[in-house]
Amino acid sequence: MSAREKERNGFFSSIHYKVGTIAAVPALLLCAMLLLMLLLDIFIPSMKNGQYVVFPAAARIISLVSILCMAACFGDELETDSLHVDLKDILLALFAVCMLISTAVNGISHDAIFGVAYRYVGVYDLMLFIFVYMYTAGRRWKKDLKMIFLVSFMAVSDLIAAAFFFNLATGRIIAFNDKLEPAAIFYHGNHYGYFLVMVIAVSAGCFISYKGRMAAMGAASLFISLGALAMNRSMGGIIAAGSVLTIMIIVSAAGKGDAGRRALSLLAVLAIAAAAALVLVRPLREDMIQTASEFLQIISGDNNIYAGNGRWGIWQYVAEYIADYPVWGYGCEGIADIMKDYTLTTSPHNEPLTYAVFFGIPAAVFYCAAVITAVIKGIRNGRHDPVNRIAAYAVLGYFLSSIFGLAFFYTTPFEFVFLGLAAHRANYSKFE
């Protein structure tokens, strides 16, 4: 190799290293956004109403910075010929194509592109999640940046939970009050539940996969988050958290070494904690009994349309509309007005169904297949890097909770960050 070639390779290695740092910026900014809203809610009483303006504005500003980070990463990969595409990427690209065709077929509108106020998830935002947040998270991060992100994610959640507990006891954080359900900085209790499921998956994964301070922080964050979820009482979140923890423990216990032993010890502690919560928290116990009763009614053939706070009836209603326009759907938010007239809500409260009615059945299939592909790949690659497996469980937890919920501008981006981290393998770069 000539001196000029060595100099050139050294230059691009340096740029590649710096871009690896830039790639982590969007994910860290998402954590910073939640911390900012927590501080504003605590110290500015007027944020009780102002958060509905400031929160989405902060998300939009962060998205612009993140687009610049994405451009830097993409430019570097084109220059170094290190662009990598896997099956998950192809499936989500097909999902994006379906979104664009559906929008063209059904008509372009403000709500279709930018979503309705409150949720702020339109075609633009879904493209942003895929091609910015997921893409940058899937680039080569340095190991310490991965740890910084996981720690930041858990730490911000723990601070939100601490404020949440404080307000439940005192009611002094005005911006937290007068919401339909205990929601902390989020708009609704269910949204907080979706977020907590991801935190629970990450914290349990850190406890099982690491030793020392990382494991200790994972254990502490896990039980703080479980306590917050128990007081939050989002049943979709509780079902999703219980499911992902069960899967995580089974997979980890099937292996050998410390991870298996930690998983079994976690199982024992969780069983005791769950029993104590059901005994001590009467509203939670009543919710669990009601949910179990409604589930038994459904599987026995009793079509209780009010099950799941009316979700069962809404899903059946939406399924009929999907059958009418199965290929390209009604466009993003295209069924909102029709739903409002019959169900008093504007969304199916089920993300896969939402994508099917918005963009067509193929779009929903591509999305679900991409998620499943990333989860499987992440669990397998966890043998090489525990972050892959931890991120895969976070994706799985979010996906399970999304069966009962909606995509939101402050929760769904984290799912796509974890999608990128779950499916990433850093062994294809020539600068390794």
Please check whether residue 382 lies inside any domain of the structure.
yes
- Give the global pTM: 0.90
With a cut of 50, list the residues of the chain below it in pLDDT: 1, 3-15, 427-432
Q: How far apart are CA 170 and CA 179, in angstroms?
A: 16
Q: How far apart are CA 7 and CA 5, in angstroms?
A: 5
Q: How far apart are CA 93 and CA 87, in angstroms?
A: 10
Range of the domain at 142: 3-192+301-423
Please check whether residue 155 lies inside any domain of the structure.
yes
Please check whether residue 132 lies inside any domain of the structure.
yes
- Domain count across the chain: 1
∠119-124-128 over CA atoms, to 5°? Answer: 95
Query: Quick one: pLDDT at residue 11?
Result: 39
**Residue-wise pLDDT tens digits, 156-194:** 999 999 999 999 999 999 999 988 788 999 999 999 999
59 Cβ neighbours under 8 A, 6+ residues apart:
33, 120, 409, 410, 413
Looking up tokens 């605590």 gives 42
Please check whether residue 416 lies inside any domain of the structure.
yes
Please check whether residue 86 lies inside any domain of the structure.
yes
Query: Quick one: pLDDT at residue 130?
Result: 96
Q: How far apart are CA 194 and CA 10, in angstroms?
A: 44
Please check whether residue 117 lies inside any domain of the structure.
yes
Query: Quick one: pLDDT at residue 337?
Result: 77
Query: Quick one: pLDDT at residue 425?
Result: 62
Residue of 163, 247, 147 lying closest to 197 (CA atoms): 247
Query: Quick one: pLDDT at residue 195?
Result: 97
Please check whether residue 308 lies inside any domain of the structure.
yes
Distances (CA, A) of 123 to 103, 104, 294, 345, 406: 8, 11, 35, 20, 15
Amino acid at 176: F
Please check whether residue 295 lies inside any domain of the structure.
no
